[in-house]
C-alpha cells in the first residue's frame, strides 16, 4: 500500500493537536502520522511539521538528538515542511534570536513573541489566498518582519501571517487549536503535489 507519512517534531509544543488535525484532515487519504525524535524517524517520511512551542527549547533538542541538520537538509532538497509559530521561526532565514539559527527554508525575517506574552494571546480573523477568512489563535506569536512578497498568502489586517514558498509553509498562529482543518488540508495537498509517497512498513 502506498501512503503519505507525515512526521511531527515531537519534543515539545502542540504535538498531539497537530496529530489530531492531520488525521482528521487526512481521513479520506492514505495517511500515517509519525512523531520525529530520532534520526531514524525521518526515514521515508513524506512531509514534516514543526509545531509551536518554545523555539529555543525545540532548537536545542533538535541539535541534542542530532536531527536539526538532517531536517534542514531534507527540507532544502524538497521535503514539504509546515512550521507553526515556533516552527516558523526555525524554518526562517533570520530568527531575531541569537540563540536560534534559522534553517533558511523560507527567506524571511521574524521576531518572536511580537504580540506580547501569554496573557496577550488573542483570536484574530485572517484572510488566506484560495481559502478565505479564518479565525485563528495567536499565542505568544512571532511577527514576519520581512519576506518575499510573492510568498505571502495570508494576512491579519496588513500584517503577513502565512508564507508559502516552494515546499515550505510557515504560519505565525496555531491552526491546530481550531476545528478548521483547511490549513492542514492545504499542507497535505502540498505533500501529495510533491509526490512524496512512501511504501508501507
Give the position of cell 524517524.
Answer: 41
Render pLDDT for 57-73 as a digit per residue (tens, 0 to 9). 999 999 999 999 999 99
Render pLDDT for 152-195 as a digit per residue (tens, 0 to 9). 999 999 999 999 999 999 999 999 999 999 999 999 999 998 54
- Helix residue spans in the chain (DSSP H): 15-25, 55-64, 68-76, 86-91, 182-194
Q: What is the pLDDT of residue 69?
A: 97
Q: Is 85 a catalytic residue?
A: yes
Among 74, 75, 85, 184, which one carries the catalytic annotation?
85
Quote the CA–CA distance of 126 and 3 in Å, as a whole number: 32
8-state DSSP, 42: G
**Total domain count, the chain:** 1
94: CATH? 3.40.50.880
Q: Is 174 a catalytic residue?
A: yes
Which is nearest to 154 in space by CA: 171, 168, 142, 174? 171
Q: What is the pLDDT of residue 1?
A: 45
Quote the CA–CA distance of 18 and 22 in Å, as a whole number: 6
29 CB burial (10 A radius; 0-12, 13-18, 19+): middle
Q: What is the pLDDT of residue 114?
A: 63
Among 149, 176, 185, 192, which one carries the catalytic annotation?
176
Among 174, 192, 194, 201, which one carries the catalytic annotation?
174
Confidence of residue 2 (pLDDT cuts 50, 70, 90): low
Q: How many CB atoms lie within 10 A of CB 125?
A: 10
Helix, strand, or coil (residue 183): helix
Q: Which domain holds residue 59?
A: 2-199
Render pLDDT for 6-42 as a digit per residue (tens, 0 to 9). 999 999 988 999 999 999 999 988 899 999 999 999 9
Which is nearest to 93 in space by CA: 32, 146, 23? 146
Amino acid at each position: 500500500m502506498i501512503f503519505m507519512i507525515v512526521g511531527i517534531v515531537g519534543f515539545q509544543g502542540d504535538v498531539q493537536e497537530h496529530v489530531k488535525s492531520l488525521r482528521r484532515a487526512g481521513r479520506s487519504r492514505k495517511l500515517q502520522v509519525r512523531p520525529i525524535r530520532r534520526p531514524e524517524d525521518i526515514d521515508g517520511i513524506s512531509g514534516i511539521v514543526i509545531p509551536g512551542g518554545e523555539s529555543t527549547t525545540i532548537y536545542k533538542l533538535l541539535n541534542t538528538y542530532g536531527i536539526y541538520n538532517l531536517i534542514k537538509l531534507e527540507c532544502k532538497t524538497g521535503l514539504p515542511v509546515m512550521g507553526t509559530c515556533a516552527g516558523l521561526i526555525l524554518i526562517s532565514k533570520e530568527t531575531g534570536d541569537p540563540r536560534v539559527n534559522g534553517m533558511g527554508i523560507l527567506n524571511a525575517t521574524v521576531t518572536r513573541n511580537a504580540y506580547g506574552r501569554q496573557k496577550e494571546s488573542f483570536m484574530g480573523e485572517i484572510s488566506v489566498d484560495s481559502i478565505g477568512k479564518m479565525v485563528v489563535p495567536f499565542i505568544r506569536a512571532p511577527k514576519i518582519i520581512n519576506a518575499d512578497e510573492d510568498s505571502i498568502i495570508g494576512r491579519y489586517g496588513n500584517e503577513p501571517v502565512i508564507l508559502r514558498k516552494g515546499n515550505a509553509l510557515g504560519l505565525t498562529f496555531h491552526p491546530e487549536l481550531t476545528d478548521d482543518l483547511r490549513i492542514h488540508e492545504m499542507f497535505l495537498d502540498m505533500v501529495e503535489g510533491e509526490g512524496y509517497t512512501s511504501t508501507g512498513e
